[in-house]
Homo-oligomer: A and B are copies of this chain.
Amino acid sequence: MAEHRRFFPGQGPQPLASLLAAAGIKLEGYPERSFADVAALAEAGPDEIAYFETARHRGVLSATRAGAVILREADAVALPSGCLPIICAMPSLAFALIAAVFHPIPRGTGQRHASAAIDPSAQIDPSADIGAFAIIGAGAEIGAGCIIHPHAVVGPDVVLGENCTIHPHASISHAICGRGVVLHAGARVGNEGFGFTPTAQGGYVTMPQLGAVLLGDDVEVGANACIDRGALGDTVVGRGTRIDNLAQLGHNVQLGRSCVVVSQVGISGSAVLGDWVQVAGQAGIAGHLKIGDRARIGAQAGVMRDVEPGADMLGSPARPARVKMREIATVQRLAAAALKPTTKKDN
């Protein structure tokens, strides 16, 4: 289970003071101590920092060998003696920030592989990295600190803001990206949407897909996920939205800020999602719907109608969670009753 040391040696040891500063935590005492790395609560050793967030791991907490644990004040009583408590209100967040001290997000430092095919008209910041066999199209603009990994394809006139990362085999065309956008391996952004129209002879003619894709700051797109460009007008993903592997966004979809779209979700063309919408794995949203802010769509749900802000939807076709749970219980009760007809009285 320690195979990751091979891949993530990290920049330890780090003094506790620097780690706490990164997380914005003030802690009395222990100024001289250092730590080698972060680790999971169950596996951390005396020179490592772990965190405790969810009750699921409470049994692990009292047995941890970690040198320090980030946790809420109320949980500190369960720590074994000798383990340093690092108290804060948001342990996961503090852990993420401290982990990033040991394992900072890579940024471009101006490396260019000789094999990359870069159009002379592309404007590439000198600090950007361009990997082997990467392609940068004519008129593309690549911001400072970007990393274009090997085999990535950045199409003509695409704009990437500062500190974007395009992983291997990802492709992006017809798109304008803010800062800190990440496309994971094999992500496809800017594809021609699924637009065509029947002919009188029973065939189809492609409807030209003339829009773009606009990705806000810090948008992440998962491995092998797909975002089609707009047909007329643009496909838009708001700042901070996270899209998981193998998800699909059709043409002219609009996602608000800080949405979470889990793996294998499909969002059909022209659907409009508000801010902080969460769509769980394998759910589907039909075309042209409006999904309000902070709505939550359950795993495998099939949304066929507009959804109110803050609503919690389950099932296919999707229903308010409370209603769906009642329907499930009703069916279970009736099916169980049908099993024993002789003892059934009043149902």
Decide: A230 near B4, CB < 8 A? Known: A198-B93, A250-B263.
yes
Decide: A171 near B174, CB < 8 A? Known: A4-B211, A97-B205.
no
> Cβ of A334 < 8 Å from any Cβ of B?
yes
Establish whether residues B300 and A1, one from each chain, have CB atoms under 8 Å apart when the complex forms: no
Establish whether residues A266 and B264, one from each chain, have CB atoms under 8 Å apart when the complex forms: yes
Instruction: Tell me the bound Cα distance from A242 to B193 in angstroms.
Output: 12
Chain B residues near A264 (CB, 8 Å)?
248, 264, 266, 284
Decide: A223 near B191, CB < 8 A? Known: A3-B176, A133-B135, A204-B240.
yes
> Cβ of A35 < 8 Å from any Cβ of B?
no
> Cβ of A274 < 8 Å from any Cβ of B?
no
Establish whether residues B153 and A242, one from each chain, have CB atoms under 8 Å apart when the complex forms: no
Chain B residues near A263 (CB, 8 Å)?
194, 226, 248, 250, 266, 268
Please name the residue on chain B nearest to A230 by beta carbon.
Answer: B4
Instruction: Tell me the bound Cα distance from A269 to B315 in angstroms.
Output: 21
Identify which of B186, B230, B302, B334 contacts A169 (C-beta below 8 A). B186
Chain B proximity mask over A194-222: 1 for CB below 8 Å, otherwise 0 = 10111110111111101110100010101
Establish whether residues A207 and B92, one from each chain, have CB atoms under 8 Å apart when the complex forms: yes
Establish whether residues B100 and A208, one from each chain, have CB atoms under 8 Å apart when the complex forms: yes
Establish whether residues A223 and B226, one from each chain, have CB atoms under 8 Å apart when the complex forms: yes
Please name the residue on chain B nearest to A94 by beta carbon.
Answer: B197
A275 vs chain B, min Cβ distance (A): 8
State the copy count for this chain. Answer: 3
Chain B proximity mask over A82-103: 1 for CB below 8 Å, otherwise 0 = 0000000010110111011011
Of A71-79, A120-128, A320-328, the stretch lying at the interface with chain B is A320-328
- Within 229-271 of A, Cβ neighbours of B (below 8 Å) are at 229-230, 232-234, 239-240, 242, 244-246, 248, 250, 257-258, 262-264, 266, 268
Chain B proximity mask over A262-303: 1 for CB below 8 Å, otherwise 0 = 111010100000001000011010101000000000011010
Establish whether residues B186 and A186, one from each chain, have CB atoms under 8 Å apart when the complex forms: yes
> Cβ of A331 < 8 Å from any Cβ of B?
yes
Please name the residue on chain B nearest to A262 by beta carbon.
Answer: B194
20 new A-B contacts, CB < 8 A, other than A90-B198, A151-B169, A194-B244, are A3-B234, A10-B210, A38-B210, A43-B233, A95-B197, A96-B208, A99-B207, A117-B132, A117-B150, A135-B150, A150-B153, A167-B171, A185-B188, A191-B222, A203-B258, A204-B242, A204-B258, A248-B264, A268-B281, A326-B339
Q: List 10 A-B contacts (CB under 8 A).
A: A4-B230, A133-B151, A184-B191, A194-B263, A203-B240, A281-B284, A282-B282, A284-B299, A300-B300, A329-B335
